[in-house]
Amino acid sequence: MTQIRLTPLVASLPATVPFVGPETQERLRGRPFRARLGANENGFGPSPRAIAAMAAAAGEAWMYGDPENHDLKVALAHAHGCGVENVVVGEGIDGLLGTLCRMVLKPGDAVVTSEGAYPTFNFHVAGFGGVLHKAPYRNDAEDPEALLALAQQVRPKLLYIANPDNPMASHHPGAVIAAMLDHLPEGTLMVLDEAYVELAPEGTAAPVAADDPRVIRMRTFSKAHGLAGARVGYALGAAPLIAAFDKIRNHFGISRISQAGTLAALSDTTWQVYMRRLVAASRDRIAAIAADNGLSALPSATNFVAVDCGGDGAFARAVLEELTAADIFVRKPAVAPMDRCIRISCGPEAEMAALAKALPGALDRARERSR
C-alpha cells in the first residue's frame, strides 16, 4: 500500500486548526445557533450595492476571476493614494499571511508576535518552519515596547502586530505603530494587521507610506464591509515585496463574484459611514448587557467586545459553554490573563436580544459549576 510521504516538517505538526467554526459546532450539537456572535463577522451585512453587483456577476461565474484583480487594485490604489504596484489582493488576510510566510520563512527563522494574539498567523509560521517568540500583553493590549525589545534579541524575519487587536479589541494610536518602524532590527519586516481599522477611532491607522519597505499592511473586506464570505483581503507594501507575491500566489484565488462585490463595496462610502454607526451602537448594546449582569466590557475599537466575566479563565470558559448550550455562539481569548473574558461580536438587535436573554442564566449556571 502506498504511504503518504509528508515532509518531515508537516509530519511533525499537530493535527489542529486555529478555529473550530460555528458550523462544526452546529453539526456536533445537532441544531443551529440562535445568535452567531463568535467569529467577528459583520452581522449587519454588506452594502446593497455589493449585493446587487454580486448578483449581477453570478451569471458570469462560469469564468475565472481576473487573475490580476486589476480593477480592484486600481480602486484600492486610488483609495490609499499609492501606486497599483503597492497593492496585492488575496484570499482574505489569512491567505495573504500564509503567502507571506511562504515567501520569507525557512525552517528555523525567528518570528516575533504577542502571546495570545491572532492564532492563524502562528499557524502559518509553524507551517513553514518558523520559530515563534512571544511577548506578553500589557493592560489587555499588545505591547509595542516589549515586541521591539524581543525583536532586538532574536532579530526576527517578521514582527506581527494587529492594530486594533484581536482578541481584546484594544488599539494604539497610529503614530505609536509608525514610531515602531524606527526601532526595528535591520532586516525585520513588520506585519501590521489592520483588519479592524475602518471601525476604529480617528488616528488609529498608521501614518505610513504604502511603499515603506519596513512594513506590510494588511486590510480586509471581511469586517467593516461585511463580506467575510467573499474572502478578499489586500496588502499594501513596497513594490519589490508586492511583486514577489506574484511568484507564488494563487492567481485565480478571487472569484468574479467576489471581485464585483468588493469593488462595489469600496465605492459605497455612504454605507461605510452607516456601518460605523451600526457597529458603534452595537458595541454600546453589548456593554449595557454586560453591565446589566454585573460584568464589565473592555473598550473596543473593533466590531466585537471583550467582556470581563469577573473570574479566571476557567470561569469564563464555563460561561462560554453555558452560552453555547443556550444556542449563543461566542468565543474567548486563550491566554491568561485575557482568558478571563469572553469575546462577543456586534450584530443585529435580534441577536443582541437573544444574548441579553441567555446571559443571566448562563452566568448562574457557570457560578453553580464553580462552587
Model confidence band, residue 18 (pLDDT cutoffs 50, 70, 90): confident
Q: What is the mean pLDDT of the chain?
A: 96
Can you tell me the mean pLDDT for 266-295? 98
Instruction: State the average pLDDT over residues 180-194.
Output: 98
Q: Is the pLDDT of residue 186 over 70?
A: yes
Residue 179 banded pLDDT, cuts 50, 70, 90: very high
Overall average pLDDT of the 35-41 stretch: 96
Report whether pLDDT(95) > 90. yes
Residues 107-141: pLDDT tens digits? 999 999 999 999 999 999 999 999 999 999 999 99
Q: What is the pLDDT of residues 201-230, one digit of tens each?
A: 999 999 999 999 999 999 999 999 999 999
What pLDDT was estimated at residue 1? 67
User: Where exactly does CATH 3.40.640.10 map onto the chain?
Assistant: 48-267
Q: Are strands 189-193 and 158-162 parallel, antiparallel or unpaired?
A: parallel
Whether the per-residue pLDDT at 239 is higher than 80: the answer is: yes
CATH 1.10.3720.10 fits 19-45+270-370, yes or no: no
pLDDT of residue 103: 97
Every domain of the chain with CATH number 3.90.1150.10 lies at: 19-45+270-370
Q: Would you say residue 17 has pLDDT above 80?
A: no
CATH architecture of 48-267: 3-Layer(aba) Sandwich (3.40)
pLDDT bucket at 371, cuts 50 / 70 / 90: confident
pLDDT, average across residues 310-315: 96
- Percent pLDDT > 70 in the chain is 100
